[in-house]
Amino acid sequence: MSLVLVSGRTLGQGKTRDKEKLTEGYFDAAAFVELDADDADDLGIEEGDVALLETGAGEVRLRAKTARGDSSGVAFVPMGPWANALVDDGTEATGMPEFKSVPVKVEKTDGSPTTLDDLLGE
């Protein structure tokens, strides 16, 4: 299913980003995708399942969470290494890559979530 990738900061991520980027706490705070409940249901994805996200820039596997409220058509990933792997590094002369409105294909997978080591090893 094709959705729109949106990225931003979260409170949980903000609590861990400066001192603890290599910890499990940071992984839990930044390595997930939040999906609308109806979209997740259409994809056969339940909370805690692993979803494969693919864009023209790359792919990652993330644990799925269900969004509160209506966010139909949106896949939210906190800013960080996992979102960066999905975003094209072109900036259109702005100096900042586009972290919003990126087309993303999402599907359920049996794989394990992409780790920080996986991303840094690429």
CATH code at 72? 2.40.40.20
CA distances from 121 to 8, 71, 109, 116, 118 (A): 24, 33, 21, 8, 5
Highest mean pLDDT among 1-10, 23-32, 40-49: 40-49
Whether the predicted pLDDT of 91 surpasses 50: no
Query: How many domains, in total, are found in the chain?
Result: 1
Query: In which band, very low, low, confident or very high, does the pLDDT at 97 lie, cut at 50, 70 and 90?
Result: very low
Answer with the residue of higher pLDDT: 47 or 15: 47
Which residues, 6 or more positions from 18, have their beta carbon under 8 angstroms from its beta carbon?
A: none
> Token digits for 116?
């920080």
Domain interval for residue 33: 2-121
In this prediction the pTM is: 0.84
Answer with the residue of higher pLDDT: 25 or 51: 51
